[in-house]
Amino acid sequence: MMGLGTQEIILILLVVLIFFGAKKIPELARGFGKGVSEFKKGMNEVQSELNKEVTESKPEEKK
């Protein structure tokens, strides 16, 4: 699968500009950034909870 090229990215940006207008784009980008950061925060919390449960549920090794 090939990634997006320069022409495709420019086309997408032009379509977004036409649909939302230049004044609305920074607001949309801020909202998207906040959403991504909240998602990452939630993923980190889930990961830490899983790690915590795994370490607690491991049986103690006896020698």
pLDDT tens by residue, 17-63: 888 888 888 888 899 999 999 999 999 999 999 998 888 887 665 55
Q: With respect to residue 2, please indicate whether it lies within any of the assigned structural domains.
A: no
Q: 49 vs 11, 38, 44, CA distance in Å?
A: 42, 17, 9
Q: With respect to residue 7, please indicate whether it lies within any of the assigned structural domains.
A: no
Q: Which domain holds residue 27?
A: 22-56
Q: With respect to residue 50, please indicate whether it lies within any of the assigned structural domains.
A: yes
For the entire predicted model, the pTM comes to 0.56
Q: With respect to residue 28, please indicate whether it lies within any of the assigned structural domains.
A: yes
Cβ(28)–Cβ(20) below 8 Å: yes
Total count of domains within the chain: 1
Q: With respect to residue 3, please indicate whether it lies within any of the assigned structural domains.
A: no
Distance of alpha carbon 45 from alpha carbon 57, whole angstroms: 18
Q: With respect to residue 13, please indicate whether it lies within any of the assigned structural domains.
A: no
Q: With respect to residue 46, please indicate whether it lies within any of the assigned structural domains.
A: yes
Cβ(16)–Cβ(25) below 8 Å: yes
Q: With respect to residue 45, please indicate whether it lies within any of the assigned structural domains.
A: yes
Q: 24 vs 8, 17, 19, 35, 42, CA distance in Å?
A: 21, 9, 10, 17, 27
